[in-house]
């Protein structure tokens, strides 16, 4: 029988994200004449309402934008900063150990994870404000309408939200999420059932306080978060409870506007955010893997996985040793991305040498993403997070503040140690791929240390293996953020046995779609196709 014909015209604009309500918000903004920046901001604000532990206006993030009309191609770094009152030695006596998965540090009393001392200077509203001022098309207040409607009218707990509400990370050394939800009276009334358990799938959440906060930001602009009445309310609550964040921290926070880190892979340009964001890992892995004819290997077969595993471990080890806030720790990008170093790494892999990566060194898995392309060809990709959410909801504001002090090493003298104004390395890697001067793909992912390895595999799936974006994000993934290889439950046991015969420890996940959650859009010949990782609840929405 002949292949069924597609009846609709090709999509010319598209947005993709893990939350259906947020996708709808961005789609509606595009349909109303907004551009990709407008749509991403509306989507992200809605994400903060309907995925409150993952992200929100009290969080941090990184945005990449390509605007063909002006020729500008920028990364806006809104990673949070350590408050000025912090000192390198302040938690030395409280240090107990590193979290077993490498994400964060266990301190007596959990002061770096739960409560007011865990809060760093939020950066995401500065990103939204600066991006809209430079690139936005629709009036700022109109971008808040969908988020306000969700907060006022209420939303229903979805599967992934319920999973996060019930998350217990005590095995890693972190606190159960129910303690974060229950930390303030506002949190308990919003997110817990009357019996004190987290709300479950199908339960409703209404947040009129957050609706009011969003209305004030819509009216007064992003700067009001940092220097207006909202800033004063945040700081008053910090002072009352011994937090570090001050008005000076908020007022002094600026977005770092940077050129993307660009790297060639088989004739195409891969643009990622530079340190302290995570693009260096993707760039370094691609530099090494370009020296292999990957398509001559079996996709996700033992040898293919061995080669990628070693590239992952080398890049992860180099990141641990060399990459931090470049204002404090200069990043040796030239040497890490040099031909000579890539040749040497590839030669070691070809000799079947095993790189040593004794454990994972992760940042927050509790993150979200959105990517968008508009009809004029503007491409925007954003990844943002609350880190480990602090549980702090300033009374009457309706949003959770980040808990990113958990990212800082309480031991002085290390690349990730505490220092006033310092921004910690983050794996967040919103990415745009170019063929010549034209963008052909954009993607991002939540997932902590898994972000880079997931984005790598999606790039390879599309560029080397010719998959569609949906095929690429849904294909089985694996991870090597330590000496062990973690594999999806859809990778055959025969492949696992083959890796074991090579001397690798292999750990099988019971999950169908583990290891980050990439979402993206391809733009081949101007026709857009989106892909949403099936482990989350979102989708790609297009406009003709």
Which of 55, 57, 11, 47 is closest to 30 using CA atoms? 11
Round the average pLDDT of the chain to a whole number and report it.
94
Give Cβ neighbours of residue 137 (< 8 Å, ≥ 6 apart).
33, 34, 35, 37, 38
Burial of residue 323 (CB within 10 Å: 0-12, 13-18, 19+) is buried
Which of 486, 492, 490, 471 is closest to 516 using CA atoms? 486
Question: Where in the chain are the domains?
Answer: 13-58+67-252+383-407, 258-363+428-533
Identify the helix (H) or strand (E) that includes residue 259: none
CA atoms of 311 and 360, how far apart (whole Å): 15
Q: Which residues of 232-263 are buried (b: 16+ CB within 10 A; e: fewer)?
A: eebbebbeeeebbbbbebbeebebbebebbeb
Give pLDDT tens digits along the chain (544 positions). Answer: 566 666 677 999 999 999 999 999 999 999 999 999 999 999 999 999 999 999 999 999 999 999 999 999 999 999 999 999 999 999 999 998 887 666 678 899 999 999 999 999 999 999 999 999 999 999 999 999 999 999 999 999 999 999 999 988 777 778 889 999 999 999 999 999 999 999 999 999 999 999 999 999 999 999 999 999 999 999 999 999 999 999 999 999 999 999 999 999 999 999 999 999 999 999 999 999 999 999 999 999 999 999 999 999 999 999 988 888 888 888 899 999 999 999 999 999 999 999 988 765 444 457 899 999 999 999 999 999 998 899 999 999 999 999 999 989 999 988 789 999 999 889 999 999 999 999 999 999 998 889 999 999 999 999 999 999 999 999 999 999 888 999 999 999 999 999 999 999 999 999 888 899 999 999 999 899 999 999 999 999 999 9
What's the token pair of residue 206? 């209404």
Give Cβ neighbours of residue 326 (< 8 Å, ≥ 6 apart).
274, 275, 276
400 with 386: CB under 8 angstroms? yes
Per-residue pLDDT at 397: 98
Other Cβ atoms closer than 10 A to 330:
11
Q: What is the pLDDT of residues 63-83, one digit of tens each?
A: 999 999 999 999 999 999 999
Which residue is associated with the tokens 């918000």?
A: 25
75 with 63: CB under 8 angstroms? yes
Entry field: residues in the chain: 544
Interhelix angle 145-153/20-31, rounded to 10 degrees, is 140
What is the end-to-end Cα distance of the chain in Å, rounded?
28
CA atoms of 202 and 200, how far apart (whole Å): 6
Give the architecture-level CATH label for domain 258-363+428-533: Orthogonal Bundle (1.10)
Per-residue pLDDT at 362: 45
Q: What share of the chain is helix, strand, coil (3-state, %, to 5)?
A: 40, 20, 45
Catalytic residue numbers, as ranges? 367
CA atoms within 13 A on the CB side of 34: 29
Q: What is the pLDDT of residues 335-380, one digit of tens each?
A: 999 999 999 999 999 999 999 887 654 444 578 999 999 999 999 9
Give Cβ neighbours of residue 39 (< 8 Å, ≥ 6 apart).
15, 26, 27, 29, 30, 372, 374, 380
């Amino acid at each position: 029988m002949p292949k069924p014909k597609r009846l609709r015209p090709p999509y010319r604009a598209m947005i993709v994200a893990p939350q259906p309500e947020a996708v709808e918000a961005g789609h509606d903004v595009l349909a109303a004449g907004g551009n990709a920046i407008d749509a991403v901001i509306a989507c992200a604000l809605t994400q903060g309402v309907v995925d409150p532990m993952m992200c929100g206006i009290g969080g941090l993030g990184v945005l990449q934008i390509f605007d063909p009309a002006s020729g500008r191609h920028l990364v806006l770094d809104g990673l949070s900063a350590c408050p000025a009152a912090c000192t390198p030695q302040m938690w030395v006596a409280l240090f107990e150990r590193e979290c077993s998965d490498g994400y964060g540090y266990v301190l007596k009393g959990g002061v770096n994870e739960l409560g007011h001392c865990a809060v760093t200077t939020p950066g995401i509203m500065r990103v939204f404000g600066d991006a809209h001022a430079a690139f936005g098309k629709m009036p700022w207040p109109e971008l808040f309408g969908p988020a306000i409607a969700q907060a006022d009218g209420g939303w229903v707990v979805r599967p992934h939200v319920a999973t996060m509400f019930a998350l217990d990370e005590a095995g890693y050394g972190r606190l159960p999420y129910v303690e974060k939800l229950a930390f303030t009276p506002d949190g308990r009334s919003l997110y817990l059932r009357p019996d004190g358990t987290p709300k479950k799938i199908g339960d409703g959440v209404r947040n009129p306080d957050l609706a009011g906060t969003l209305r004030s930001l819509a009216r007064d602009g992003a700067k009001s978060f940092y220097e207006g009445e909202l800033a004063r309310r945040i700081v008053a609550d910090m002072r009352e409870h011994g937090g570090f964040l001050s008005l000076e921290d908020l007022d002094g926070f600026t977005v770092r506007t940077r050129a993307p880190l660009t790297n060639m892979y088989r004739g195409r340009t891969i643009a990622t955010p530079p340190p302290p964001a995570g693009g260096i890992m993707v760039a370094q892995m691609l530099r090494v893997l370009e020296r292999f004819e990957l398509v001559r290997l079996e996709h996700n077969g033992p040898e293919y996985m061995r080669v990628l595993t070693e590239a992952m471990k080398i890049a992860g080890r180099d990141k641990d040793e060399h990459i931090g806030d470049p204002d404090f720790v200069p990043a040796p990008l030239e040497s890490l991305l040099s031909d000579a170093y890539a040749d040497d790494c590839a030669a070691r892999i070809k000799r079947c040498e095993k790189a040593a990566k004794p454990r994972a060194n992760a940042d927050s898995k509790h993150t979200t993403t959105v990517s968008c392309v508009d009809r004029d060809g503007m491409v925007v990709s954003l990844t943002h997070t609350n880190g480990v959410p602090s549980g702090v909801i300033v009374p009457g504001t309706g949003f959770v503040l980040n808990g990113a002090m958990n990212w800082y090493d309480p031991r002085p003298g290390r690349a990730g140690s505490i220092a006033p104004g310092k921004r910690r390395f983050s794996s967040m890697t919103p990415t745009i791929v170019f063929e010549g001067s034209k963008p052909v793909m954009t993607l991002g992912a939540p997932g902590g240390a898994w972000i880079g390895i997931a984005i790598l595999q999606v790039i390879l799936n599309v560029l080397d293996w010719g998959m569609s974006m949906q095929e690429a994000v849904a294909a089985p993934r694996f991870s090597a953020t330590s000496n062990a290889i973690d594999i999806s439950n859809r990778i055959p046991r025969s492949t696992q046995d083959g890796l074991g015969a090579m001397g690798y420890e292999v750990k099988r996940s019971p999950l169908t779609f583990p290891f980050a959650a990439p979402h993206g859009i391809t733009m081949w010949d101007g026709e857009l196709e989106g892909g949403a990782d099936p482990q989350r609840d979102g989708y790609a929405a297009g406009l003709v």
